[in-house]
A and B are shown apart, each in its own frame.
Chain A
């Protein structure tokens, strides 16, 4: 029997992505976001998450996709990284899956338009293709600066 990993599956632009469930502290519906002036462009602002000011990142912007209007299915996934909570805006989040570790393949060169820095691997389950997010890089403000320069 191979080992499994529990992941939260969410969608951005009809593609499925996954984050290990142990890094997620909750999934919230859209709350009022207060814009923070002169923050990085993908930082949408901060929200009041049960009394804690939590920064919010729009993963669409982060991944270089076009922005869309938020709607009823838009969710904020609260992830924990190095002890800080950060919220990620995704199109929808609706699945928790157990994926066998041996189904995870190392990151391919390019997956669609998504820059490979944000990807830690790809998991193929039946007909679904899940892209595993490298949270450290996806949230790192410095990586983004480098990316911008390269772009």
Chain B
């Protein structure tokens, strides 16, 4: 069978399942007594196992299998959840992720996982991977569970049936059937086994329940209780005829024993509860099945299909063509002055603008796709750093353009690591400062106007201005003279300068030479900005401002002689008409007085070497733009108007175009260049 066509689906789905697994693990860590979460993880692991076995990735299947065993034991209360157990499971998920990534990159998905497998084995045996003190408790519950395995309890009704059939001379058997490990169609085998059994007698009970068996929600083995007139040997022979059955254990049910076992179990539960173990840990099988049922009723999430981003880009390009033609059609209909044509064109315009909204929305992705890997990362990092950190995420549903999403991950990782390494103090230090032992990092995303803001807010030590200044001085980033004039904000900004790192020792968390300047550059290359606010001993706030989408921006269209240029509205403060006499000259720089401030004028006509054809007018049209705190006035010939345009790159050939950040296509099909104010303002 050619697997290649399924590979993409496999990779995507595996990623999804791993994501669910790690998300749920984090939830579970907070609520260790909620065993329904274990089921959720178990299901993800199980599906993953099935898929990877089908695709022939054995290492992946094996590791998932081990993990599944441990999870199974957890939900059967065989294993008490300790942080160590979590560590190992997280490690296993990490390994699985690495394997899936390797497959996605065209590798074979092989990986040395012996250590994790060994640790999982150890846990599975009921021992704690690190501490042995917990092992004893685990062992008790293990014994308890094993009892549960051999003598399942029966409810009153089942017990009566068993008792009555016993009186009528039926045999009651408990049959444990083990399927072969490589069995692919387990549900089918289960069905065949049941068919065999139902011909010979009646099945009273199965463990796991039939619904789960049908959904392949079990390992290799399952147990059924049946009543029959036939002997155990006959039954065994019949079942063995079903292929892929590995092993069958049949034992006659001792009705007295069943009753007895139930009593013992109740005693033990009471005993364990006395030992201080929460009774919820020992969940009765019937309870857990109920929970499972509840889970499976959960409404299906909205249906989606995967579309290659390239196709969306093509769609977008075609759509822009359409918009340009619409513009032409509009013009023609105006010239012809035909009522019917008018109406049709009008209608088309409305439909195309609806279409535009949809096409643009298709490229929007919730930031969740980036945020969802952070909780695990923060947890791991907190353990590595021996710090206690709580990550709170809000606004994960905020949507951003796909291109921004793809780029924003790394800078955020860097800032989070930075907050944990340099921001949040060690627990002792926090207690000494009178703070909560557990540090808090808030990751917020929200819309505001045409921008999306992402805020990373920690309640750690804040930025020490003295240290930043000293460091900047010793690294030669600033001089002593400038240091004295800097405002607090400007000092904080220094940590974004290249070649700056305040960590006194280089830890492998942050401060590996790749500084925050990379973060700043990446964000700026996305058309965004990042600012810092900080209070010593109270924490720092990193605020990232990002454009909603990279492909559509609001611009002001201006004319310079015969040429048209677009200036992004995001950098425009306002426009002004200035009299020629008001221009003053200072150090070869023409300036005007703008609300009491000296505003340098930049004549775009000269800067862009526009061929002159018109006479200069008495009044100048000035667009006042800013870069950070600095302002400048761009002198143009006239303002045309404000419009939304599709941002296009100039391509690889003209990378060095001066002060031009891109281009756009106007309604008449012509290209207008977009001015990059950041390079214009020195």
Contact = CB atoms under 8 A, between A and B. Distances in A.
A131 to B, nearest CB: 23
A84 B657 CA distance: 16
Contacts of A84: 651-653
Given A38-B657, A86-B653, A51 B563 contact: no
Q: What class of interface size applies to chain A in its complex with B?
A: 20 to 34
Contact of A55 (B607, B609, B654, B670): B654
A48 B670 contact: yes
Contact of B608 (A38, A52, A139): A38
Nearest to A54: B651
B672 A34 contact: yes
Interface in B584-628: 607-610
A47 interface: yes
Interface in A69-108: 82-86
Contacts, number: 78
Q: Which of A51, A54, A84 has the largest count of B CB atoms less than 10 A from its CB?
A: A51
A46 B671 contact: yes
A51 B673 contact: no
Given A36-B673, A37-B658, A84-B652, A51 B318 contact: yes
A32 to B, nearest CB: 5
A15 interface: no
B656 to A, nearest CB: 8
A39 interface: yes
A55 B649 CA distance: 11
A61 to B, nearest CB: 16
Q: Which residue, B607, B663, B671, has most C-beta atoms of chain A within 10 A? A: B671
Interface string A37-70: 1110001011110111111000000000000000
A35 B670 contact: no
B1 to A, nearest CB: 35
Given A34-B670, A35-B563, A37-B659, A43 B654 contact: yes
B673 A34 contact: yes
A51 B657 contact: no
Contact of A51 (B608, B649, B665): B665
Contacts of A85: 651
B56 interface: no
B462 to A, nearest CB: 45
B648 interface: yes
B93 interface: no
Interface centre among B324, B651, B665, B672, by most chain A C-beta atoms within 10 angstroms, is B651
B663 A46 contact: yes
B563 A34 contact: yes
B581 to A, nearest CB: 29
Interface in A102-151: 139, 141
Interface in A6-47: 31-32, 34-39, 43, 45-47
Nearest to B316: A51
Contacts of B317: 50-52
Interface in B651-682: 651-654, 656-660, 663, 665, 669-673
A73 to B, nearest CB: 22
Contacts of A53: 648-651, 663, 665, 671
B410 interface: no
Contacts of A43: 654
Contacts of B672: 34
B320 interface: yes
A65 B661 CA distance: 32
- The listed residue with most B CB atoms (<10 A of its CB), out of A39, A54, A83, is A39
Contacts of B318: 51
A31 B663 CA distance: 16
Given A50-B321, A51-B317, A36 B650 contact: yes
A90 to B, nearest CB: 18
B320 A37 contact: no
Contacts of B563: 34-35
Contacts of A37: 607-610, 657-660, 673
Contacts of B656: 39, 141
A148 to B, nearest CB: 16
A119 B259 CA distance: 98
A149 B338 CA distance: 61
B598 to A, nearest CB: 27
A54 B665 CA distance: 12
Nearest to B648: A53
A39 B608 CA distance: 10
Contacts of A48: 324, 665, 669-671
Interface in B629-664: 648-654, 656-660, 663
A92 B650 CA distance: 26
Contact of A36 (B321, B652, B654): B654
A40 to B, nearest CB: 9
A48 B672 CA distance: 10
Contact of B671 (A38, A47, A83): A47
Nearest to B604: A37
A141 B651 CA distance: 14
Given A50-B321, A53-B649, A84-B651, A38 B669 contact: no
13 contacts: A32-B670, A34-B563, A34-B670, A36-B657, A46-B654, A46-B671, A48-B670, A51-B324, A52-B651, A53-B650, A55-B654, A82-B652, A139-B653
Given A51-B318, A52-B317, A52-B648, 7 more contacts: A34-B673, A36-B660, A38-B609, A39-B654, A48-B670, A50-B321, A51-B665
Q: What 9 A-B pairs have minimum CB-CB distances, sorted nearest first? A: A37-B608, A34-B671, A38-B658, A51-B317, A55-B653, A53-B663, A48-B665, A51-B320, A53-B648
